[in-house]
Structure 1
Amino acid sequence: MSETTGAWEGEDYSLTPEQNRVITERWKRAEAAREGMDAMMKGIQQETAQSHGSKLEGLEYSLKDVDSFRRKAASAAEDKGFPVEKTAQSIHDLNRYTLTFEPGAYTEGVDRTYERLREAGYEPISEKNTWEDPVYKGVNTSWQHTQSEEKFELQFHTPDSFKAKMENHELYELSRGKELENLSQGDDDLKESYRNAANLLQNERYKNVEIPPGQERIGERLIRDTLDPDVPSEDVELIRRKEAEKRAENLAKAQAKAEAKKQAEQASLGLDGPAQSTSQGLRNHLAAPAAQAPRMRPDVPSIDPVPRQSRSRGPSLT
């Protein structure tokens, strides 16, 4: 992330230098807590994997991107008049995790996870069950340590509901940002029609997702959206095209970010520019077979080389 805490702008939103300082400092506290929380969630997953077949999804995204946090704070301030300082205090999902269980093991797996988190000193501060919602299905919980300000979000999904959620990411982005407002050019009715079209498209991916038995006793049951089957087909097709454009845009951003990270890692190892070519040439030289080695004279007995001991490189870290 950039260390600058001057003014920030992004996605039609902005923060003053002071607002950006507040948001950046809150994000850095979450960054410092990440390693310990990752370790805790890995331990819970390993235990529940044996008993309930759990998987920990998207661990590489367990810390919310700082610019995404900035956008969230800026939009809350501009669109809802919510002070940036309150966003920094109330946010739960800077550190966030997702556990999946197959439908038949889902409810018991969630129960066991609750037990383990309470044993670790955490209590739920938010429990939203949207399995009956047509646009987003799952259980989203937030937790806080009883002896500190540490907070994190934990989502519970089945493999199929997680897949649908990920496939709907661009539609979710369209629905929450200013793009529908810009598309509708100030026409509130048209904006609502576009939002309803996005809901219909999200619902399509949830239609065949099995609802886990017993899930109704987990958390607060919410139905936040309804479907309007009378949305004009041209509005649906427009949102479908915008989703495809957004997906291509996100892919390009991800590729650029990965390339920037790769270049930064090479630079930190002194492998940029001429040094990289020299290092690569040395590796090629060492890896080349000794095809030009002189042959031994026939009258000199050959000696079997001493077998080399393989060097263990340890476990691969993923």
Structure 2
Amino acid sequence: MSERTGGWKGEGYELSPEQNRVVTRRWEQAAAARDRMDAMMKDVQQETARSHGGKLQGLEYSLKDVDSFRRKAATAAKEDKVPVEKTARKVNDLNRYTLTFEPDSYAEGVERTYERLREQGYEPTAEKNTWQDPVYKGVNTTWQHAQSEEKFELQFHTPDSFKAKMENHELYEISRSNDIDELAQGDEELARSYRNAANHLQNERYKNVKIPPGQERIGEQLIRDELKPVPAEHVELIRKKEAEKRAENEAKALAKAEAKKQAEQAALGLDGPAQAESQGLRNKLATKTAAPQARQSAATPRIEPLRAQSRGRGPSLT
């Protein structure tokens, strides 16, 4: 269940009506800022594209899904005893962006992006460089405007590291959800082994990713995960779980797209077949109306109007 003023439940977590109101209110603030931030990041991308080949990736995901945010807040409240109000106040990735640069222009491209954002009044509040980490490679930064509390996340990748990150999405979800705990059935040592198996699988996709020269100049160098020996059967189990999670996510995406389509049709007061039938009726009516108009036009001599003078609007752009 997911309601603006009611409670929320999902994947073993829940929010009370009051907690959900706090979370939803914070998300709506980010939603209201989205268009303006998107426009700013497009301007930054255009400039860095000319100078360093920068590309803005995944702009359609620049606003975190509201249910993902609810789940994040509910998870923090349940597992880490973090008040929902604190999560709503501290969250920095509701608006989020990714810029990619080729390895040889990466460091200079990131530095130019820093300059451009500072010119816009933003300052970095967090800079995490994990290019030496075996499980996740890139630079994650958080930016906040000097005159407001408005903030966003900006990730810097190469095309290859971005591809690996996207391919590892389900493994990331599994590692940070209660899926592994359910698989381990309360056995903490087994759960640690499963998480390590997920780390090994993520690392596989980063093995051939080139580390950009000069990246060590950017942010705080962090190594968050360490690869430890793990039984092969645990790796295969998590690989199977990853495939199931991917199929589940694809089904959710299709259902969401279908729901959006139906909502748009409902807004017009039509379902699919009715819409087609209505369009057919409109075409028939248009044909019947056009026929007498054509006959009338043929019977009446056509008089060419005088050419209208320009009203100073300039050329028409089509």
Q: Which runs of 5+ in 2 are unaligned?
A: 288-315
CA distance in 1, matches of 2:221, 2:72: 25
Equivalent in the alignment of 2:206: 206
In the superposition, relative to structure 1, how do residues 81 and 152 fare at CA in structure 2: closer, same or farther (>3 Å)?
A: same
Between the aligned partners of 1:169 and 1:283, the Cα distance in structure 2 is: 47
Shift, 1:50, TM fit: 1.1
What is the CA distance between 1:135 and its match in structure 2? Answer: 0.0
Aligned to 2:151: 151
Q: Does 1:253 align with 2:223?
A: no
Tell me which residue corresponds to 2:238: 239
Q: Distance in 1 between matches of 2:275 and 2:125?
A: 51
The amino acid that maps onto 1:151 is K
SS at match of 2:137: coil
Shift of 1:264: 1.2
Q: What is the CA–CA distance in structure 1 between the aligned matches of 2:317 and 2:187, rounded to whole Å? A: 61
Q: Name the counterpart of 1:304.
A: none
What is the RMSD computed on CA atoms of the aligned residues? 2.0
Is structure 2 residue 92 aligned with structure 1 residue 64? no
- Aligned twin of 2:16: 16
TM-score normalised by the chain length of structure 2:
0.87
Looking at structure 2, the residues matched to 286 and 266 of structure 1 have their Cα atoms a distance apart, in angstroms, of: 22
Match runs of 1:1-318 below 5 Å: 4-228=4-228, 230-272=229-271, 275-282=274-281
Secondary structure at the aligned position of 1:205 is classed as: helix
1:59–1:273 CA distance, 2 compared to 1 (3 A) = closer
- Distance in 2, matches of 1:269 and 1:98, equals 36
Q: Distance in 1 between matches of 2:284 and 2:203?
A: 57
**Measured at CA, do residues 284 and 56 of structure 1 come closer, stay the same or move farther in structure 2, by a change above 3 Å?**
farther
Q: Is the 8 A contact 2:44 2:116 kept in 1?
A: yes
Structure 1 length normalisation: TM-score? 0.87
C-alpha displacement at 1:274, in angstroms?
5.8
- Which shifted more, 78-87 or 262-271? 262-271
Unaligned runs of at least 5 residues, structure 1: 289-311
Could you say which residue in structure 2 is the equivalent of 1:296? none
3-state DSSP class of the match of 2:249?
A: helix
More helix by share: 2
**SS of the counterpart of 2:203?**
helix
Question: How many residue pairs end up in the alignment?
Answer: 290
1:265: Cα distance to partner? Answer: 1.5
CA deviation map 1:188-233 (0-9, x unaligned): 11000000000000000000000000000100000000101x2001
Deviations 1:111-145 (A, max 9, x none): 11001100101000000000000000000000000
From the superposition, tell whether residues 196 and 278 of structure 1 become closer, same or farther in structure 2 (CA, over 3 Å): same
- 2:2, 2:9 within 8 Å by CA — same for their partners in 1? no
Q: 1:286 to 1:160 in 2, by over 3 A?
A: farther
Seen in structure 2, the aligned counterparts of structure 1 residues 171 and 283 have a Cα distance that, compared at 3 Å, is farther
Shift of 1:271: 3.5
